[in-house]
Amino acid sequence: MSAGAVPEDTAARPAPPVRRTGVRRVVLSGLALAVLAYLIDQGTKLWVERTMELGESIVVVPGLLRWYYILNPGAAFSIGTDVTWVFTIVQAAVAVIALVSLLRARSWAWGLALGGLLGGVLGNLTDRLFRPPSFGQGHVVDMISVPNFAVFNVADSFIVCSIIGLCLLMMTGRNLDGTCDGAAGRD
């Protein structure tokens, strides 16, 4: 065999293990985004509660954006206002699934998407658990209003953006462990 030749059995060798440092960084980055999303969400809700009256509307960008302080017992577009406890259970389950998946993530994209989802879900779950009228049936503070759309909050924004990111990752064949599947993963 010549000096520059590669042994034939090289192709049969298993891939080297993922470096633990990289794994920790992915997980810690996702957790950091979750904490950031949670703090921004809860901070904006606290700010709205302290500076606005329930039902008050403040124009921020005429015709495009206004702050509109409402309490939402239901889901998007106030769906399911009589079954708030169901949303509490679903959000708790999603938070657990997002956290477990984040701890298994080996891809930056998956880590950040799951971290954003976790932070957003925990933001709204906190409202469901600890806001009036009762534990597990609390109303979510919403305040961002754009034309022809539901009033929402920062947590909702993180949830939607993260779900879009997760869908794109799955549609392009990107796996939680950082590998790509077949033709869907090719650029």
Catalytic site positions: 142, 156
For residue 140, list its beta bridge partners: 72
**141 DSSP β-pair partners:** 71
CA distance 47 to 141: 11
Are 133 and 82 spatial neighbours (Cβ–Cβ below 8 Å)? no
Q: In what order do the strands lie in the sheet with 65-72?
A: 57-61, 65-72, 140-145
Cα separation, 156 vs 143, in Å, equals 11
d(CA 51, CA 178): 44
Using CA atoms, how far apart are residues 164 and 81, in angstroms rounded to an integer? 25
Strand extents, DSSP E, 115-183: 140-145
